[in-house]
């Protein structure tokens, strides 16, 4: 044993070197910039803390899971996943909250505030960024609504923006009136492709939509099941009722493939949804058909696309800040 002991320091040093090198070089599932274990030292229970607040919020109101998923999407598409959507307007800038796609529409800000306040206490200080909270809350929501067997590993280390720009939100968020080519091009402008467009649109498997976002479609579109259109008109008259809501798919609290199955039956709620399946034998059609019938593929591939979306232009290192209050800069 004496001989073995004499080698131990060398072995320990060597092991340390290998581990350190592995951490520096590891490509794994983490990207160069963000990592899965970013808060392991600074706030080891950050993820559990976020999960429990999200869980309570969804228990209070199931729709909140959908709202939190959408918040992360709308954050990432406007100058990257930097928490900019959370900033209230100030004298110095008009932020993103009044953009067409956000006004009277995005929700969940109170839950994000609750998560942030809880973390500031549990982490013994201001450690976890608002941008990361959005990413984790979105993942947790999907997982909670999709059942325990499903998950993807969320990437962390984003920092928060110190400004927000209304025009950028208006330019970068898709509208439900978009045609296929407009949808694909806005996704491509964010480094995402056709498959990401199909998969991430699958986020519409949960949540509700206001009449004003699908009225044109149910009265004027031709690529729509007539009975489906008729069934929606009572809750969404030609005039008035703009704020009346309806489920985006028929199993609106479950993260399943019914959204894709609905597209196959011309029962997409938004014009933009149905643009993904037009019975024209396109690649887009084939992907919708595939995911409609492959729940497991959908869940796994959706996670991969969420990670890609979550990697859009994060602020890292010394860029930006960790906001103390998600609604305003420090």
Ligand X SMILES: *[C@@H]1O[C@H](CO)[C@@H](O)[C@H](O)[C@H]1NC(C)=O
Active-site positions read 74
**205 labelled binding-site residue:** yes
Q: Which residue, 241 or 295, has its beta carbon nearer to ligand X?
A: 241
Residue 203 binds which of ligand HEM, ligand X, none (CB < 5-8 A, kind-dependent): ligand HEM
Q: Determine the Cα angle at 228 with ends 210 and 263, to 5°.
A: 85
Give min distance, CB of 305 to ligand HEM, in A: 8
Establish if 243 lies at the interface with ligand X (CB under 6 A): yes
Contact 148, 71 (CB under 8 A): no
Other C-beta atoms closer than 10 Å to the C-beta of 303 total 19
Q: Determine the Cα angle at 295 with ends 287 and 34, to 5°.
A: 80
Radius of gyration of the chain (CA): 22
Residue 180 binds which of ligand X, ligand HEM, none (CB < 5-8 A, kind-dependent): none
Q: Rounded to whole angstroms, how far apart are CA atoms 89 and 57?
A: 26
**280 labelled binding-site residue:** no
Residue 107 binds which of ligand X, ligand HEM, none (CB < 5-8 A, kind-dependent): ligand HEM
Establish if 92 lies at the interface with ligand X (CB under 6 A): yes
Establish if 5 lies at the interface with ligand X (CB under 6 A): no
Question: Which residues, listed in sequence order, are joined to residue 160 by a DSSP beta bridge?
Answer: 321
**249 labelled binding-site residue:** yes
Q: Rounded to whole angstroms, how far apart are CA atoms 302 and 304?
A: 5
Q: Which residue, 88 or 242, has its beta carbon nearer to ligand HEM?
A: 242
Work out the end-to-end distance of the chain between its first and last CA atoms, rounded to an integer number of angstroms. Answer: 58
Establish if 222 lies at the interface with ligand X (CB under 6 A): no
Q: Rounded to whole angstroms, how far apart are CA atoms 128 and 138?
A: 15
Q: Rounded to whole angstroms, how far apart are CA atoms 155 and 311?
A: 8
Residue choice 16, 28, 90, 98 for contact with ligand X (CB under 6 A): 90
Residue 66 binds which of ligand X, ligand HEM, none (CB < 5-8 A, kind-dependent): ligand HEM
Q: Which residues bind ligand HEM (CB under 6 A)?
A: 63, 66-67, 69-70, 73, 105, 107, 174-176, 178, 183, 200-201, 203-204, 206-210, 213, 270, 272
Q: Rounded to whole angstroms, how far apart are CA atoms 115 and 125?
A: 13
- Residues placed in the known binding site for heme b: 204
> Per the annotation, where are the binding residues for Ca(2+)?
75, 78, 80, 82, 84, 96, 205, 249, 252, 256
């Amino acid at each position: 044993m004496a001989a073995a002991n004499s080698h131990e320091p060398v072995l320990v040093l060597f092991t340390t070197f290998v581990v350190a090198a592995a951490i520096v070089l590891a490509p794994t599932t983490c990207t160069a910039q963000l990592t899965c274990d970013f808060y392991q030292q600074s706030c080891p229970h950050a993820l559990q803390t976020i999960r429990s607040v999200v869980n309570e919020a969804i228990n209070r109101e199931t729709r909140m899971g959908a709202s939190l998923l959408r918040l992360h999407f709308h954050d990432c598409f406007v100058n990257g996943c930097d928490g900019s959507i959370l900033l209230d307007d100030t004298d110095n800038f008009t932020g993103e909250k009044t953009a067409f796609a956000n006004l009277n529409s995005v929700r969940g800000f109170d839950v994000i505030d609750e998560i942030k306040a809880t973390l500031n206490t549990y982490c013994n200080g201001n450690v976890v960024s608002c941008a990361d909270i959005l990413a984790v809350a979105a993942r947790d929501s999907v997982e909670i609504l999709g059942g325990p067997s499903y998950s993807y590993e969320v990437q962390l280390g984003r920092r928060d923006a110190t400004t927000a720009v209304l025009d950028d939100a208006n330019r970068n968020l898709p509208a439900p009136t978009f045609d296929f080519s407009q949808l694909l091009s806005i996704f491509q402008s964010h480094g995402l492709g056709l498959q990401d467009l199909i998969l991430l649109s699958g986020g519409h498997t949960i949540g509700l939509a206001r009449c004003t976002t699908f009225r044109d479609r149910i009265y004027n579109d031709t690529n729509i099941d007539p009975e489906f259109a008729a069934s929606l008109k009572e809750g969404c008259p030609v005039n008035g009722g703009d704020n009346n809501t309806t489920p985006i798919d028929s199993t609106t609290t479950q993260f399943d493939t019914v959204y894709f199955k609905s597209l196959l039956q011309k029962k997409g709620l938004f014009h933009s949804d149905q643009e993904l399946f037009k019975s024209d034998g396109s690649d887009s059609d084939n992907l919708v058909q595939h995911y409609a019938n492959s729940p497991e593929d959908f869940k796994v591939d959706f996670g991969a696309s969420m990670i890609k979306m979550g990697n859009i232009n994060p602020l890292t290192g010394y860029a930006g800040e960790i906001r103390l209050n998600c609604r305003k800069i420090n």
